[in-house]
């Protein structure tokens, strides 16, 4: 099986599994796990923040950050296609009791003017605008990279109006590797930010949330409350450290493969439109005479290739360390069979 469904599908490599044998462990919730502590310091430095906390998933990073930054009834400004609206089981509402103000951006990216127009007046009738969230890269925008100035600008507008800012950095390192701008620089004007070790970096579990000392102290309290506090978490943190050392620079390979797949897919007759490919995600729409997205997913699966349907006619393909150019050829062979020979 060639699995292009998500970069979360990669399996830990043999070398990554080996580091577990020698890692030093202790009770994480008492700050006694040296391997987790090392991972936390490394990510604090990488993201340019005072403190960090190790969490089981990126979803928990988003949900805890929202809870720390808001009070029930507050409003969170974010883009309509973002993860925290669409793929977190209604967490912002269920856990934090917040309202969502969804902006319609371009490929997941919105403008400072849109933020300005969405910030509430100070009125007893209205929810309080409390938090601005941005996603770097924008997943459903086809892995689009926020230009640094625009990412700074939307944060600036929010901060001027007294909002806090949060950066969903599930694929922040993809942006950093592609542009050469550091992850810390992208996160600079964001009160909290995180990276995911299971998206493209190849680890089996783990994400690290970063922010000020006070922010992380509150995040820790919520981690404990939600049952996210761990014991000998060095077992997984060691694999995350391995990923930081060995799987970051290679994200460039994923970008190269995605870019070549994007070009080839754009040449298939029954493809309507391919979103601009900037990192490791290719999102494309099927023409009216093509099978539906769900049908195509089933047919490709029968050929040993997995892709994702995200909409009736929308397909997502993601590259990562378990798919190589040979897998790309299998994907293109399957796609041509159902979407016509390349023009
Ligand atoms: C996958 C993803 C998340 C959630 O991360 P998990 O580790 O799967 O919980 C959040 N935001 C974005 C943009 C993602 O792609």
The string of DSSP codes covering 168-205 is: E-TTHHHHHHHH---HHHHHTT-SEEEEESSSSS--SS
CA–CA dist 8, 129 (Å, integer): 33
The DSSP letter of residue 311 is S
Mean pLDDT, rounded, for 163-172: 98
Mean pLDDT, rounded, for 306-319: 98
> If you measure from the C-alpha of residue 118 to the centroid of ligand 1, how many angstroms do you get, rounded to a whole number?
25
Please, which residues have CB within 8 angstroms of residue 120's CB and are 6 or more apart in sequence? 75, 126, 127, 128, 129
Q: Tell me what pLDDT residue 342 has.
A: 85
Q: Which of 170, 158, 88 lies closest to 130 in space, CA to CA? A: 158
Residue 313 Cβ < 6 Å to ligand 1:
no
Mean pLDDT, rounded, for 169-176: 98
Site to substitute for ligand 1 among 8, 9, 56, 59, most atoms within 8 A of C-beta: 59
Confidence of residue 255 (pLDDT cuts 50, 70, 90): very high
Residue 203 Cβ < 6 Å to ligand 1:
no
CA–CA dist 172, 196 (Å, integer): 9
Do the beta carbons of residue 173 and residue 200 sit within 8 Å? yes
Mean pLDDT, rounded, for 300-318: 97
Q: Tell me what pLDDT residue 343 has.
A: 83
| Residues 28-66: tens digit of each pLDDT | 999 999 999 999 999 999 999 999 999 999 999 999 999
CA dihedral 101, 104, 105, 107 (to 10 degrees): 120
φ and ψ of 261, to 5 deg: -65, -40
Q: Tell me what pLDDT residue 267 has.
A: 97
The angle subtended at Cα 325 by Cα 299 and Cα 290, nearest 5°, is 30
Do the beta carbons of residue 4 and residue 323 sit within 8 Å? yes
Residue with CA nearest ligand 1 atom 2 = 170
The DSSP letter of residue 106 is B
Please, which residues have CB within 8 angstroms of residue 282's CB and are 6 or more apart in sequence? 142, 258, 261, 262, 265, 274, 275, 316, 317, 318, 319
> If you measure from the C-alpha of residue 135 to the centroid of ligand 1, how many angstroms do you get, rounded to a whole number?
10
User: Rounded to whole angstroms, what are the CA distances from 295 to 269, 278, 315, 333?
Assistant: 17, 27, 11, 17
Mean pLDDT, rounded, for 185-190: 98
> If you measure from the C-alpha of residue 268 to the centroid of ligand 1, how many angstroms do you get, rounded to a whole number?
30
Site to substitute for ligand 1 among 6, 137, 139, most atoms within 8 A of C-beta: 139
φ and ψ of 3, to 5 deg: -105, 100
Q: Give me the percent of the chain exceeding a pLDDT of 70.
A: 100
- Three-state DSSP state, 111: coil
Residue 170 Cβ < 6 Å to ligand 1:
yes
Please report which helix (H) or strand (E) contains residue 55, including its range.
strand 51-55
Residue 207 Cβ < 6 Å to ligand 1:
yes
Q: What's the chain's average pLDDT? A: 98
> If you measure from the C-alpha of residue 169 to the centroid of ligand 1, how many angstroms do you get, rounded to a whole number?
8
- Three-state DSSP state, 95: helix
The DSSP letter of residue 226 is T
Confidence of residue 252 (pLDDT cuts 50, 70, 90): very high
Q: Of 203-207, 249-253, 338-342, give the lowest mean pLDDT range.
A: 338-342
> If you measure from the C-alpha of residue 338 to the centroid of ligand 1, how many angstroms do you get, rounded to a whole number?
30
| Residues 92-132: tens digit of each pLDDT | 999 999 999 999 999 999 999 999 999 999 999 999 999 99
């Amino acid at each position: 099986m060639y699995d292009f469904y998500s970069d979360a599908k990669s399996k830990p490599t043999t070398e990554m599994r080996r580091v577990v044998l020698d890692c030093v462990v202790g009770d994480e919730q008492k700050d006694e796990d040296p391997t987790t502590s090392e991972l936390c310091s490394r990510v604090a430095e990488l993201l340019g923040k005072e403190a960090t906390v190790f969490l089981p998933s990126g979803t928990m990073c988003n949900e805890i950050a929202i809870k720390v930054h808001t009070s029930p009834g507050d409003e969170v400004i974010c883009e309509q296609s973002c993860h925290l609206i669409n793929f977190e089981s209604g967490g912002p509402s269920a856990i934090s009791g917040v309202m969502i103000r969804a902006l319609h951006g371009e490929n997941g990216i919105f403008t400072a003017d849109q933020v300005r127009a969405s910030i509430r007046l100070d009125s007893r009738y209205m929810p309080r605008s409390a938090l601005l969230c941005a996603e770097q890269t924008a997943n459903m925008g086809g892995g689009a990279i926020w230009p640094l100035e625009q990412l700074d600008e939307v944060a600036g507008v929010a901060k001027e109006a007294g909002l806090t800012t949060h950066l969903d950095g599930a694929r922040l390192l993809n942006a950093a590797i592609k542009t050469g701008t550091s992850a810390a620089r992208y996160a600079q004007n964001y009160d909290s930010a995180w990276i995911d070790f299971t998206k493209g970096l190849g680890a089996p579990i783990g994400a690290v949330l970063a922010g000020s000392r006070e922010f992380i102290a509150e995040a820790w309290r919520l981690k404990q409350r939600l049952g996210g506090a761990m014991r000998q978490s060095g077992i997984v943190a060691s694999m995350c450290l391995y990923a930081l050392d060995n799987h970051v620079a290679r994200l460039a390979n994923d970008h190269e493969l995605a870019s070549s797949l994007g070009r080839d897919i754009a040449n298939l007759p029954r493809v309507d439109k391919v979103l601009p490919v900037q990192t490791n995600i290719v999102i494309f729409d099927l023409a009216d005479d093509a099978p539906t997205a769900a049908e195509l997913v089933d047919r490709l699966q029968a050929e040993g290739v997995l892709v994702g349907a995200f909409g009736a006619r929308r397909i997502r393909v993601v590259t990562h360390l378990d798919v190589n150019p040979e897998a790309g050829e299998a994907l293109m062979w399957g796609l041509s069979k159902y979407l016509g020979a390349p023009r």
